[in-house]
C-alpha cells in the first residue's frame, strides 16, 4: 500500500541535516521518495505502508538524532 506521511522533524540546523536524512531514510526498504524541508521542519515521505509503516519511518528519523512526529 503506497502512502504519504508528513513528519515534523525537530533538530535540523543546517542543509547537511536535510541531505543526510534524505540519503539515509531514502535508502531504507519500502521508501519510494522523501523530501525534507529545512524551513518548515517537515519531511514528506512516500512509502509502502507494509514494508515501512509511518511509525517505522518516524522511528528511523529519531534514530538519527532528530525528534520526529507524524503530522499527516
Ligand atoms: Mo549540520 Mo545537521 O553541521 O545534524 S549536519 S547540524
**Tens-digit pLDDT profile for residues 33-67:** 999 999 999 999 999 999 999 999 999 999 999 99
Nearest CA to ligand 1 atom 4: 17
Enter the C-alpha cell of residue 36.
525534507
- Alpha-carbon gap, residue 46 to 65, rounded angstroms: 21
Ligand 1 centre distance from Cα of residue 27 (Å): 19
CATH of 2-70, one of 3.30.70.330, 3.30.70.100, 3.40.50.300, 3.40.50.1220: 3.30.70.100
Q: What is the 8-class DSSP label of residue 47? A: E
Taking the C-alpha atoms of residue 18 and residue 30, their distance in angstroms, rounded to an integer, is 20
Place of cell 540546523: 13
Residues having CB closer than 6 A to ligand 1 are 13-14, 16-17, 20
Q: At what angle do helices 54-63 and 15-26 cross, to 10 degrees?
A: 130
Task: State the pLDDT confidence band at 72, using cuts at 50, 70 and 90.
Answer: very high
Cell digits for 1?
500500500
pTM of the model: 0.95
- pLDDT at position 68: 98
Amino acid at each position: 500500500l503506497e502512502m504519504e506521511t508528513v513528519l515534523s522533524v525537530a533538530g535540523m540546523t543546517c542543509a547537511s541535516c536535510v541531505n543526510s536524512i534524505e540519503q539515509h531514510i531514502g535508502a531504507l526498504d519500502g521508501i519510494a521518495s522523501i523530501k525534507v524541508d529545512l524551513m518548515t521542519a517537515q519531511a514528506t515521505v512516500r512509502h509502502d505502508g507494509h514494508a515501512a509503516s509511518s511509525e517505522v519511518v518516524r522511528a528511523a528519523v529519531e534514530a538519527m538524532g532528530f525528534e520526529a512526529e507524524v503530522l499527516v
